[in-house]
Structure 1
Amino acid sequence: MGGKKTWKDNLLSSSVPMEFEVSKLLVKHGFSTSADYSYTRHGAQARDDFSVDLEASIYLPFRRPNEITTELHLLVECKHRHRNNKWLFFPDPNPGGFSPFTLGRTPRVVDDFAPVMLDDRHSVAFDNKSIFCIKGVEIDLNNGSVYDAEIRKGLSQLQYALPRLVTEAIEWNLGCHPEECYPFLYCPVLLTTSEIFVAKADTTIESVERAETLPDLATPAPWVVVYCEQTQDFQ
């Protein structure tokens, strides 16, 4: 009886209550949101339809409709996990010149289709405060299992939804009068209820073997930026 899931457990694990709560929070801060942002992914043999949980957009500056300079688009994929599930990410070990990350690309600025150029110093400043990671895994402290399927799936869903988002934003600008064309920013977000940890830079096989608890080899982080490789199909 103790291990049986209740309807509440199953409802929470569906992430729908989380999506609703996140959507309300975004609306509270001025965003317009929509659920199940769909896209089509073409495979070798067929095409499949998928979706990202939430799409949100807002004109900037916040709450100043008479001074619009740009538009921000967010794609948010929600992952509700149980309280003893932790997400552990491993930092990028490459020195700056060899890192796959480019500063200013997390909130990505696109101003090629508007009559003005947008200064990217704010997006660069955001990245300067971020922790860049190359891979993440889930650790279930209840049963000791370690896996990365949900993280990889979430990142892939966001990646494959981006072409539709960017294309529609470009087409909107191309169909507008010049005074109605704004540069835009977009940012995909994989959101989780799990506590996020980042492995210490000196983590080794030996240090993992010696660790008694997760904080012995990792430190909590509010968010991380994760690199997602472009597959041949995506390109």
Structure 2
Amino acid sequence: MKWKNNLLSSGFILEYEAAKIADDLGFEIIIDYTYSRFNEQGVCTDFSIDLFATKLIQKDGKELLLCLPVECKHRFSDAIWLFLPDFVPEEEFETGHMMIEEFSKNQKLRYGDTYLYFRYTGRTRKGIEIKGDSVYDKEMKHGLQQLKYALPKASIDALWGQRLEYSINDRLFLIVPVLLTTAKLRLAKKEISIQELQSFDDIGDLGTEVGHLLYVPGHSLDYNKHCYNTIHHYKDCKIPRYFESDQYVRIKDIQGALIKSVSNPIINICNFNDFRYFLNSFIKACYEDLELKSYEV
């Protein structure tokens, strides 16, 4: 039935199922989260991602607001997203956490489980979709772009959402963008080559199926300008400090830190069947990391 396939392709049902999972795990959810950016014609235009979910994690008087911008891409069962393994050595790689620490009372997060959880997952800088005899990357690239350009506004809204809460002593903000798909994810073998590919009889020979992985976007002058323009637009907004309720921080006072936190993002690509496990594992790791938090200035 064509209507059924079209409805599934729209991502409409996938968004709903993803929202139900996040809601079940205690996240607050915004549907169709909107942001603005300049389009290819130079006109400021509204865009959106499917979900913006937030969860406050509390441990021993310390708090972390976990923020998940989510874009959903429904693909049919025969679709495979194949990714090339990252060639950057492990010791030179940073997790890419978008951590905002300016509202935290003198302490920095000492990465423990969340660091290890992402350090040892699959990591990539390029992917492509294989479906039947077709090979293309349009839908994947579109989802990644939509998600990436939403991040500067998401960082502002994460902070702005705290403005009426004066009793909180201390809070960190962690932004974790997720591209969610029903496509199977495969990470290619590191030794893959043109010659080796010619000998493969099955698509499974290309590499290992994974539930989720990290995507490292390339640097972009346009995106860096977008980060600056978005955050600069809110420069005069005042955010109350948690631990000093009679004092405020203007966005312009922490503009450099905010731009730095979103200018080199890492995007999590997750298969829908792995989504609940992914969220549960991340929440658990955040609790563990709060226990390791250092109070040294």
* TM-score clears 0.5: yes
Q: How many Å separate the matches in 1 of 2:42 and 2:180?
A: 31
Range moving further from structure 2, 223-232 or 119-128: 119-128
* Preserved contact between residue 23 and residue 54 of structure 1 (Cα < 8 Å): yes
Q: 1:54 aligns with which of 42, 51, 56?
A: 51
Aligned AA (1:32)? E
Cα 1:117/1:176, change in 2 over 3 Å: farther
Q: How many Å separate the matches in 1 of 2:149 and 2:184?
A: 26
* Preserved contact between residue 39 and residue 164 of structure 1 (Cα < 8 Å): yes
Q: 2:114 aligns with which of 111, 118, 123?
A: 123
* Preserved contact between residue 109 and residue 120 of structure 1 (Cα < 8 Å): no
Q: How many Å separate the matches in 1 of 2:121 and 2:174?
A: 18
User: 1:206-226 deviations in whole A, cap 9, x for unaligned?
Assistant: 111211111112111111101
Could you tell me the percent identity over the aligned residues? 32
Query: TM-score, normalised to structure 2's length?
Result: 0.69
Aligned AA (1:155)? L
Structure 2 gap ranges (5+): 225-297
Q: 1:193 aligns with which of 162, 170, 182?
A: 182
User: 1:48-75 deviations in whole A, cap 9, x for unaligned?
Assistant: 21100011001104xx7x9551110001
2:126 equivalent in structure 1: 135
Q: Tell me by how many angstroms 1:102 deviates.
A: 1.1
Counterpart mapping for 1:16-165 below 5 A? 16-43=12-39, 45-61=42-58, 67=61, 69-96=63-90, 101-103=93-95, 105-106=96-97, 108-115=98-105, 116-141=107-132, 144-165=133-154
Q: Secondary structure at the match of 1:151?
A: helix
Q: How many Å separate the matches in 1 of 2:104 and 2:164?
A: 11
| Equivalent residue pairs, number | 222
Q: 2:216 aligns with which of 218, 222, 227?
A: 227
Range moving further from structure 2, 204-213 or 131-140: 204-213
Aligned AA (1:102)? E
Structure 1 gap ranges (5+): none
Range moving further from structure 2, 12-21 or 223-232: 223-232
RMSD of Structure 2 on Structure 1 (CA): 2.1
